[in-house]
Amino acid sequence: MTARFPEQLRGRIAEVVGRYPERRAALLPVLHLVQKERGFVGPEDEIAVARICGLPPAAVREVLTFYTLFRREPAGRRLLQVCTNLSCTLRGGERILDHLRKILGVEPGQTTPDGRFTLIEVECLGACDKGPCLMIDDDLHGALTEEKVDDLLREAK
Amino acid sequence: MVEPNLTRFFDASGPRSASAYCETGGYEAARKALTSLTPEAVLNEVKRANLRGRGGAGFPAGLKWSFVPRAGDGPRYLCVNADEGEPGTFKDRYILAHDPHLLLEGIIIASYAVGIPQAYVYIRGEYERLAARLEEAIAEAAGRGFLGAGVFGTGFSLDVRVQRGAGAYICGEETALLESLEGFRGQPRLKPPFPATVGLFGKPTVINNVETLANLPGIILHGAEWFVGLGKSKDGGTRLFSVSGCVVRPGVYELAAGTPLREIVFNHAGGLLPGRSLKAVIPGGLSSTILRPEEIDVAMDCESLTSAGSMIGSAGIIVIDDSVPMFSVLDRVTKFYAHESCGQCTPCRIGTSWIRRIVARMKSGDGRPDDLAELARLAGAMKGRTFCPFGDAAAGPVLGLIEKFGKELEG
C-alpha cells in the first residue's frame, strides 16, 4: 500500500525532481516536502518517496533516520526546539529547557498529552547572539526569559 | 578603523531587495567581471587578494578554484556551503538575512571564473525562512537577467538552486555536503580524489562558504590590493566575527582580519557583564582549542591562532566568565560531538561516545581519579586518526580543557 500524495504536493515534487541530473538527489527535498505536508514521514510515505526517487525503501529509511530534522512520527501541533548548545547555555538555555519541562510536564522528545506541544532539545540553531533561543515551528525566538516563554506559549496555542 | 565591506548595508529592516542592492552599486562587480575580464583574470585577482576560506579550514579560495581542470566542457558545479553548523557561528545567517544578493553576486563571479553553469546552495535545514528568502532573491536576480541564460547579455549562463540540509553538523564538511546533496547520508568521502576533480555527481566541483563568496564583489570592484589592505595581517580583507556567550553585546562584528581577540571581546562586544571576570575564550567555533585570559592578546588571523595552539576556524568567538564551571563546558562539548558523529569510522564513533559516557558518569557524581587521564587518552587516540576533520574537532576541545583547566575539572 503506497501513500497517495495530494495533487499539489505531487506537482511540487515533480518540480524538485527535475532540478537534479540524478533522481536520487531529490531525496532530501522530497522528504522535506512530504514532512511539511503531513507533519512527519510515515512508513507508507517512505515507500512512495522511494518510488519517486527510484530507490529501494531501505535507502530512504537510512537517510530519514540519519538527519535529525526528519520525524517518523507525528509531532504535536506546535514544535518547540530549544537550543542547549554552549552559547545558549551560557545565557541560561538550560533554565529555559527546565522551565518548559516543568510547565508542559514532558521530557525532551515527548509530546504533551493534549497533543498541543512537542518539546525537543536541539544543537546550535545559529542564532547564538540571541541566546537563549528556541524555535516554535519555523519561527526563531531569542533573548528568552521564563516570562517570555510563558507569553510565547500562550500565543502559540 | 576599517570601513565595513560586507556589512555596510546591514540594518534591522530585513533583506535588501535587488533594486536596493543595485542602487548602491550592486551587481556592478559581476557585470565588470563578465563583460570586461577573462575568467583567468578574475581567478588571478582573487589569488592575489589572498582570500582565505571563511568556513573553517581557511584554504585560499583562488588556489582551490585553480585545481578544477580547465580543459573539457562536461558538467561542473559550485556548491555553496551555507550549512553554518559550527556552534558559536552565525555570520552567514546575517549575510543571508540582510543581503542575499551579495551572496548571489559572489556566486556569479566564482562561477564565471571557473566556468560553472550550475550552482547549488546547501543551506542548514533550520534556516528554512532564509532559504525561502534566498529563493525569492534568486527569482529577482533572474528577472533582471543576472542569472539564467546569457547573464548580462553575455554567452555565460548560470542556474542557482537552493537545497536545505536536515540537521546534521557533519554536512558542513565539504564531502559530506556533497553526499547529502546527492541524497545520501552525510558521511564524508575519502580524499583524494578532491572535489575539484571528482565532486558532485562525480564531476569537478568547487565548494565555498557564504562569507568567502560575499567577499568577491569587493575584490573585483576595488582590486586585490585594496582587499589585502583591509586586513591587519597577512590574511586579506575583513572577517565577520560572531561573538556570543558572556558579553554585554553579543553579535556579528565585521573587522579587519588580524584584529586582536582582546579588542573584539572588550571593545566591540562590550566586554563582560558587570562584576564578572574573564575565565576563557573559545576563538574559532566550538571545535577550536580554548584560550586562557592571558592568551587572548592574539591577532585573529589564520597563522596567529595556529601559533597560539588553536585555530581561527569560523571565527565564532564564545566568551566564558568566572560564573561558569568548566565542567559544564566539558559536559556540553562532549554531548555535542557524541550526538553529531556520523558513525562512519571507528575512532570517532567509539571515541566520542566513550568520552561522553565517562563525562556523563562524572556528572552523576560517580567520577574516578583517573577519569581525566582516560579522557585525554581517548581524545588523543582520535586526533589525526579519523576519516575526516571531525575527529580532531571533537578531540581538540577535550584536550584543551584538560590541559588548561585540569585542576578545576579534578575538583
Domain that holds residue B392: 326-410
Q: Tell me, what amino acid is at A102?
A: K
Assigned CATH class of A78-156: alpha beta
CA B50 to CA A134: how far, in whole Å?
38
Looking up cell 556589512 gives: B7
Query: Is the domain of B32 the same as that of B150?
Result: yes
Mutate to test the interface with B, among A89, A128, A138, A144 (most CBs of B within 10 A): A128
Rounded to the nearest angstrom, the minimum Cα separation between B222 and chain A is 31
The pLDDT tens digits of the residues spanning A80-138 come to 999 999 999 999 999 999 999 999 999 999 999 999 999 999 989 999 999 999 999 98
The answer to whether the CB of B379 falls within 8 A of the CB of B395 is yes
Pick the last residue of a domain from B183, B199, B230.
B230
Nearest to B244 among A55, A128, A135 (CB): A128
pLDDT for B291 equals 98
Give the DSSP letter string of B174-228.
HHHHHHHHTTS---PPPSSSPTTTS-GGGS-EEEEEHHHHHTHHHHHHH-HHHHH
How far off is chain B from A38, nearest CA to CA, in Å? 16
- State the helix-helix crossing angle for B346-363 and B390-410, rounded to 10 degrees: 20
Least Cα distance to B55 among B21, B95, B112, B15 occurs for B95
Whether B29 and B153 share a structural domain: yes
pLDDT at A156 over 70: yes
Which of the listed residues B321, B349, B380 is the one where a domain comes to its end? B321
Residues whose CB is less than 8 angstroms from the CB of residue B358 and which lie 6 or more positions away in sequence, other chains included: B371, B374, B375, B378
pLDDT value, residue A106:
97
Per-residue pLDDT tens digits of chain B, which is 411 residues long: 567 789 988 887 778 999 999 999 999 999 999 999 999 999 999 999 999 999 998 999 999 999 999 867 789 999 999 999 999 999 999 999 999 999 999 999 999 999 999 999 999 999 999 999 999 999 999 999 999 999 999 999 999 999 999 999 999 999 999 999 999 999 999 999 999 999 999 999 999 999 999 999 999 999 999 999 999 988 889 999 999 999 999 999 999 999 999 999 999 999 999 999 999 999 999 999 999 999 999 999 999 999 999 999 999 999 999 999 999 999 999 999 999 999 999 999 999 999 999 999 999 999 999 999 999 999 999 999 999 999 999 999 999 999 999 999 987
> What whole-number distance in Å separates Cα of residue B29 and Cα of residue A72?
46
Contact B87 A87 (CB under 8 A): yes
CA-derived radius of gyration, chain B: 21
Q: CATH 3.40.30.10: which residues of chain A?
A: 78-156
Q: Is A122 on the interface with B (CB under 8 A)?
A: yes
* B250 shares its domain with B149: no
Q: Which of B296, B321, B346 is the last residue of a domain?
A: B321
Q: Are B160 and B304 members of one domain?
A: no
Q: Are B6 and B254 in contact (CB under 8 A)?
A: yes
Q: Residue for cell digits 568521502?
A: B189
Contact between chains at A24 and B201 (C-beta distance less than 8 A)? no
Structure letter (DSSP) for residue B3: P
Q: Do B87 and A90 touch (CB under 8 A)?
A: no
Position B184 scores a pLDDT of 97
Does the distance separating the beta carbons of B93 and A28 come in below 8 Å? no
CATH code, domain with B218: 3.40.50.11540
The packing angle between helices A43-53 and A57-66, to 10°, is: 110
pLDDT of residue A1: 45
Please give, rounded to a whole number of angstroms, the shortest distance from the CA of A105 to a CA of chain B.
23
ipTM rounded to 2 decimals? 0.95
- In a shared domain, residues B187 and B44: yes
Residues B334, B355 share a domain: yes
Answer for the pair B153, B112: CB distance below 8 angstroms, yes or no: no
Looking at the structure, do residues B311 and B211 belong to the same domain, yes or no?
no
The domain total for chain B is 3
Task: From chain B, pick out residues whose CB is under 8 angstroms from the CB of A130.
Answer: 250
Q: A7-66 has which fold?
A: Arc Repressor Mutant, subunit A (1.10.10)
User: Partners of B241 in the beta sheet?
Assistant: B253
Please check whether residue A68 touches B, CB under 8 A. Answer: yes
CATH 1.10.10.1590 placement within chain A: 7-66
